[in-house]
Chains A and B, each alone.
Chain A
Amino acid sequence: MPQENDQQHYPHRKDKHEARRDFLKQSSAVMALALTPPLVIKAAQHDEAIAGIFEKMPVSMEINGKKVQVSVEPRVTLLDLLREQLQLTGTKKGCDHGQCGACTVHVDGQRINSCLTLAVMQEGKKITTIEGLANGEQLHPVQEAFIKHDGFQCGYCTPGQIMSAVACIREGHAGSPEEIREFMSGNICRCGAYDNIVHAIMDVKQGGKTV
């Protein structure tokens, strides 16, 4: 959180990085005068690559039990890292502002909205996404219960619902249908499968299986 006041902030202000990048691009444009077209492209790509290295930061984390080392711009969210760079597309983007829960993943065992945290902030963290929930071919009990109770329709919010449901049970917030409804309210389902989701979670909770 920002810890001092914002006297004035205007959008569209050029940041330092862009100023430097402008310089790099301009320098390649100057060079281009003396070069044939394919080389111009190469030069521009070269600058791009160098600039890219300066702007990126290394970060290592464990995702679904595997060590992952990536280099990312600091502005890349955990959600966009998972989806666009690691191709873990099970985690969904529904709002990108922490208002729907479709991007819910576990970080060190806690459910969070992956759209509102930066990838670089996850250094050394253990992350579990929907792709890492099942044990090989054996579905997690919550996944099975969602199928049995039809806890979804279109399926888009489902990865987030399931990650949230697993945490909800682990936290001890699945004691009654009312408690489940409250503690699952951070996951919107526009298809309206809520009643079935509650049944699925109650079923797992009452079944006493380890989640």
Chain B
Amino acid sequence: MKKQQTGQSMDRVDGRLKVTGGAKYFADHHLPDLLYAALVCSPISNGTIKNINTAKALKAPGVADVVSHLNAPPVPGYKNADPNAKDGLKIFKDNRIYSNGQPVAVVLANTLERAVHAASLVEVQYDQETHYTDINASMGKAFQNNRMKDYVRGEADAWKKAAVTLDATYTIPLEVHNPMELAGIIAHWDTPDTLVLYAKTQGVKNVQDTVKRLFQLPEQNITVHSRFVGGGFGMALRVWPMEVATILAARKIRKPVKLVITRDQMFTLVGYRPNAIQKLSLGATNDGKLTGITHEAVAVTSPYEDFTEGIVAMSKFMYACPNVNTRYKLVPLNLSTPVWMRGPGEATGAFALESAIDELSYKLNMDPLQLRILNHADTDPEKDLPFSSKYLKEAYELGAEKIGWTNRKAAPRSMQEDGMLVGYGMSSGTFGAFRGKATVSATLKADGSLILQSAAADIGPGTATAMVQIAADVTGIAPSKIQFMLGESAYPFAPQQGGSSTVSTLGSAVTDACKALQQKLASLAISNVPAFKNATPGTIIFEDGQLLRAGQPEKITYESLLQQQQLPEVNVVATSQSGDERKKYSMYSFSVHFTKVHVHPQTGVVRIKHIVSVADAGTIVNTKTARSQMIGGVVGGIGMALTEEAILDHRFGRFVNNNYADYHVPVNADTPPTDVYFINKKDPYINPMGSKGMGEIALIGFAAAVSNAVYHATGKRVRDLPITPDKVLDEKAALQWKVENKLNT
């Protein structure tokens, strides 16, 4: 028996393409007669377009057209849309401006430089109306839709009656996904009714479906290519208005059009993590038993869509507490629509909940780790079901041991090292372990190689690599002879890459397709190979790429079987989805994060010195790529905790730090050595592999582990992210100086 592939640290199957520059992302494609697109975007935040003067732009060299609501081809899917449906921005439908940066026109030219320059020559006049971009100034507009019902378990607001209480408000700023790859699309109408797209997407089938709906075309007329995606983190989970605008422009000009948006446009056109204000109230007995949790959240959305996510989800089941109530509201602002950003709402909520638990621990004079263990939920208190698997306590213990939690002195501001204040912090995170429906085509070639195809996406976690490992274990075929192909709409259906569910969903379909393939091979052998003639399918064993008969010497390799039958290939297509196990069990992944920080006492600069993250994510298929996914989530968490905030000047409704120099994504020097550990125990129910998913839990909770450590180091609680030096700065020292100098600033 060959060694088990699942659980190995196999190198990525697409690694060579990625390190040689050979991996082609959407913008790397060139088509004959390609035109370049550049966007003209609104500098106002609310109002209407009065007039668009394209004369200068059209006269500029190489300019082919300027497409706007004045001359764009019709979008059939807009026609019968309900004007009150709040179903998204209908680009180029009319002259309405909802937010700053909204695309107003697309300029097409024969070189990139000419398109970009000509866009600056388009003159647009607007009728400006009052805009609202400040959540604090617009709280009166907060509303709930029917997807956001209040939740009550036991008694609402029970925390108020508790012996020990904590009641605090936490804010998350607006954060932007900012993948390295700039968004955009190449659109080419092959014929007036057939469209080819090179897209940046987390799901080619989703793009196909959206375009099908908008342009009312048969599915087979829309081809979407997206083999390599330069990061998504959620922003590529939908088709954005500027992509539709590009498709419209290509339709009008009858040539292929390539749009690559600019970094500042990444702040206004492709979603963001909404800023949120959360009030977390906890009540506990004197010995630390939680008696009440109340979690209220208000987050922003756009004027034309209600974006909701799981901000208050974790508070409902994370701790064993008899009384829990949550309330979630939205405030519509003159901004584009938010979209799930890694960890999505759960990461927002976890910052509040896990900070509050930490604050409560100091009020109780109790170790924050002990407080969590004391209130551990052995079964899901929300669904009243057992967990399919939960090794959170083991994760707590392992993480505590690896960070050296016992070195931590309980009192805040009690530890120092090299002139730095030292703090230890921890937190936990959780996210649903999902499994969707997917179809995989498996083709065994006569040379013994296996080709698997599914319209999945890979934004970086290493999907194809993991699928090859899973297929190798089911079929016994060496990984080097297996190819997993994704990112093409022509392949069988797979859902989007999101919600930490790709391995669960797609791995199950790969498993089922490989098993179906084996059954087909078995039937083939039974019908045609003399040595297998009287075998029943159940007695045939598959090992190392061969068919064997239980207890008998006969065997035949897959390739011999195909060659003997003169078959060039054998193909099966299998669809896989979960059964009713989800009704019997509550399925979640869990993570714990431990950090050790240094805080410079004079400047308030925080440096994370060591991170230990532990994941209870079921079976780990590839320990190398899984580790990468964990450290990646942690780096996202460092940004959330310490550096990231998109800042608006509300007078204009414009972002003032809409670039990589001023919106601080963490750089290499921000990151410390990071140790990742996996519980790596199979979930018995979720799917054949027992894998629960990890993309979100890598980040969820992490920001609280940092803010909790900063509090432990300094005695200063920062409830507004990010924790920049000015928020940590020793106010006493600054104050002392002000007194000395009788200065009023």
Contact = CB atoms under 8 A, between A and B. Distances in A.
Interface in A159-203: 159, 162, 177, 180-182, 184-198
A41 interface: no
B108 to A, nearest CB: 15
Interface in B210-254: 228-233
B20 A90 contact: yes
Given A94-B180, A155-B18, A196 B668 contact: no
A97 B19 contact: no
Contacts of B28: 83, 89
B560 interface: no
A90 B120 CA distance: 29
Contacts of A18: 59-61
Interface stretch (B282-290, B321-329, B541-549, B633-641): B633-641
B629 A100 contact: no
Contact of B11 (A48, A51, A148): A148
Contact of B60 (A21, A80, A88): A21
A93 interface: yes
Contacts of A154: 179-181, 228-232, 459-460
A95 B263 contact: yes
A99 interface: yes
A150 B625 contact: yes
Contact of B665 (A97, A139, A184, A190): A190
Contact of B59 (A22, A139, A187, A188): A22
A73 B635 CA distance: 40
Contacts of B181: 92, 94, 154, 156
B715 interface: no
Contact of B634 (A73, A102, A146, A192): A192
Given A12-B120, A196-B631, A147 B19 contact: yes
B635 A194 contact: yes
Nearest to B14: A155
Nearest to A84: B112
B178 interface: yes
A150 B668 contact: no
A199 to B, nearest CB: 10
Contacts of B121: 12
Contacts of B20: 90, 130-131, 133-134, 139, 143
Interface string B525-548: 000000000000000000000000
Given A156-B231, A195-B671, A97 B21 contact: no
A157 B25 CA distance: 12
A114 interface: no
| Size range of the chain A interface in the assembly | 35 or more
Given A134-B20, A154-B230, A182-B669, A96 B180 contact: no
Question: Which of A91, A156, A158 has the most chain B CB atoms inside 10 A of its CB?
Answer: A156
A71 B53 CA distance: 33
A187 B668 contact: yes
B140 interface: no
B475 to A, nearest CB: 25
A48 B61 contact: yes
B142 to A, nearest CB: 32
Interface in B82-124: 111-113, 117, 120-121, 123
A110 B59 CA distance: 41
Contacts of A90: 20-22
A118 B228 CA distance: 28
A155 B230 contact: yes
Nearest to B672: A195
Interface string A70-85: 0001011000100110
Contacts of A148: 11
B667 A192 contact: no
Given A89-B24, A155-B460, A189-B180, A196 B16 contact: no
B12 interface: yes
A25 interface: yes
Given A154-B460, A156-B230, A190-B231, A195 B21 contact: no
Given A155-B460, A185-B669, A190 B178 contact: yes
A11 interface: yes
A163 to B, nearest CB: 10
Interface in A90-136: 90-97, 99-100, 102, 129-131, 133-134
Contacts of A51: 61
B462 interface: yes
B659 interface: yes
A100 B180 contact: yes
A102 B632 CA distance: 18
Nearest to B263: A95
Question: Which of A55, A100, A177 has the most chain B CB atoms inside 10 A of its CB?
Answer: A100
Nearest to B182: A93
A27 interface: no
A111 to B, nearest CB: 14
Interface string B16-52: 1111111111011010000000000000000000000
A165 to B, nearest CB: 11
Contact of A195 (B459, B631, B660): B631
A190 B180 contact: yes
B661 interface: yes
Contact of A97 (B15, B659, B667): B659
Given A48-B62, A130-B21, A150-B625, A84 B636 contact: no
Given A99-B659, A192-B636, A153 B628 contact: yes
Contacts of B631: 192-196
Contacts of A184: 668
Interface in B666-723: 666-669, 671, 673-674
B331 interface: no
B263 A96 contact: yes
B360 interface: no
A87 interface: yes
Contact of B660 (A100, A181, A193, A194): A100
A139 B111 CA distance: 34
Interface of A: 11-12, 14, 18, 21-22, 25, 48, 51-52, 55, 73, 75-76, 80, 83-84, 87-97, 99-100, 102, 129-131, 133-134, 139, 143, 146-148, 150, 152-159, 162, 177, 180-182, 184-198
28 contacts: A14-B56, A75-B113, A90-B21, A92-B181, A92-B230, A94-B182, A95-B659, A99-B263, A99-B660, A130-B20, A139-B19, A139-B20, A153-B462, A154-B180, A154-B230, A154-B232, A155-B17, A155-B19, A156-B179, A159-B21, A162-B19, A186-B667, A187-B667, A188-B665, A189-B635, A191-B231, A194-B671, A196-B628
